A and B are shown apart, each in its own frame.
Chain A
């Protein structure tokens, strides 16, 4: 069995499962947020009763993150619904906006708070819940109805996916990041190339990456339609997890005779910085093919591109420079927001580097990654051409359906912000 099959088998109480099997699994962690939490609670109450109690408070994590810094009355009302639900059930893991407990983007917060544990099974009401798979666990996104069923029973049906394995060999060149690797995969297999399947990432270049960067690979498994993304855990994973939780976990690895739908090997030393052109994450081009494309905006943020590693990368290029286009900096979480003040590149804090470069700094949340209410920080309203470290560029994703979004690594985004046109980071990285 593959690592995915093994984890699913364990959570179904079975010896073995095979791709195509329909099974009920026990969920270790259910995560929801302010967009999908309120309708999930509605359905939960409708099906289980007005005063029904969640199946296990210790396993429910509620992280408001999408529409936080907005005047939109309905959006604020939705956070209020979560707050009331958390109070009603005295939930231990609710991270309330406006308090020191507020975290920001759920997928990063799950990691920071120690909810990602090797061998476990996590489900979130967000398609990028596949991010947690970077910790050697099964994680996937579901809708409100499935989440409500989990909330009442702790169970979910799953069709065991086939696995596509992507092995990255070699040493990552200094101008490439995890984002380049995953854009390559998505460009190669297409936005439906992984539909119903597990995407497993392996190889020296993957294990050389810090844990957060690995999350960029699994985060975008959904951009290829994947059910889950997964990376076998190693010492770095264990160290990260142990520093954040005392909860026990058991690492799971695939068997030597595991079967794969696809097995593809890349040599990262031969790869190039990439972009996904408008309007699809699989619309791959090398940066050199689109060099000189005029831009109106640059954006560094989101669960996939708003991690400390992303800001360090951007700062290395922005240090001592001035941006030519509006450049938005949005840390994924409040923790990362604080790190901008304490982490330095050549003696200067990231925060100061960004401010001196003329960037606009926002507060931790999803912000313009998914457009959001009209007053959302960084949201597009017209025909802007944007280069962004986020994960999706379908029409309207960042607000206006007339805007055009290029996806790229923080190196490429920062280099392009300075030049005002799409720029190859190899030209500016020293």
Chain B
């Protein structure tokens, strides 16, 4: 995990489910083939209803049409981010698009676990609700060592919750390294 994560904000509402993060029709692409996996970046968050794309404005797709990567590296969401299916394609799609971290009020369990275990994006929990405080396009910086989010556009700072139990997995890089350290897998 990087100490400092910087990037533009992409703001979403509550209960962004995995069908919005990566619609089911796109789950057919390989996650390992270098050419095919790019499509996960293209279709990341394409299921979000148009008026909810990039708050408070709406109508701002996460990844521009025909592009494979997004200009936004940090997603700011409300409660229950990533609810719905267990598809690991969801955090994978965000990573493919170039997203580094999500800052949400709360997460659905499987999304959170997948994000951590696969080492795709770092899922931070905000202490206060940020959806109305941050605008899509704002310049953000996360200091992961102290758990702080700075919005350089507005000058505001927000504390993030400690990563808790999963910090060890994030530190290890993914669940395999973690399992190796626990002696469950040969090194």
Chain A residues within 8 Å of B, Cβ to Cβ: 22, 24, 35-36, 38-39, 42, 46-48, 66-67, 72, 74-75, 77-78, 124-127, 129, 141-146, 149, 152-153, 155, 157, 159, 191-192, 195-196, 225, 227, 280, 370-374, 392, 394-397, 399, 401
Contacts and interface: CB of A to CB of B under 8 A. Distances in A.
A144 B88 CA distance: 6
Contact of B89 (A39, A46, A48): A39
Given A125-B86, A196-B109, A401-B47, A370 B19 contact: yes
Interface of B: 15, 17, 19-20, 23-25, 27-32, 36, 47-49, 79-80, 83-89, 91, 106-110, 113-114, 117-118, 165, 174-176, 178-179, 182, 184-185
Nearest to B120: A145
A201 B160 CA distance: 35
A379 to B, nearest CB: 8
Contacts of B31: 39, 42, 144
B109 A227 contact: yes
Given A24-B184, A47-B176, A371-B19, A74 B28 contact: yes
A141 B84 CA distance: 11
Given A42-B31, A191-B83, A401-B49, A149 B15 contact: no
A358 to B, nearest CB: 28
Nearest to B47: A396
Contact of A195 (B19, B109, B175): B109
Contacts of A373: 25, 28
B44 to A, nearest CB: 14
Contacts of B20: 394-396, 401
A380 B179 CA distance: 43
Contacts of A225: 80, 83, 108-109
A127 B109 CA distance: 10
Nearest to A154: B184
Given A143-B114, A149-B176, A280 B15 contact: yes
A127 B113 CA distance: 12
B26 to A, nearest CB: 9
9 contacts: A39-B32, A47-B176, A141-B86, A145-B114, A145-B118, A146-B175, A192-B80, A192-B106, A195-B80
B175 A149 contact: yes
Given A39-B32, A192-B108, A225-B83, A143 B88 contact: yes
The 10 closest A-B pairs by CB, nearest first: A143-B88, A74-B28, A143-B114, A141-B86, A127-B86, A192-B80, A145-B118, A394-B17, A39-B31, A144-B88
Contacts of A149: 117, 175-176, 179, 185
A396 B15 contact: no
A77 B28 CA distance: 9
A75 B28 contact: yes
B179 to A, nearest CB: 6
A35 B15 CA distance: 23
Given A39-B88, A125-B86, A145-B118, 13 more contacts: A36-B87, A47-B185, A75-B28, A142-B86, A146-B114, A149-B179, A152-B185, A191-B15, A192-B108, A195-B107, A372-B24, A373-B28, A395-B47
B25 to A, nearest CB: 6
Contacts of B27: 35, 66-67
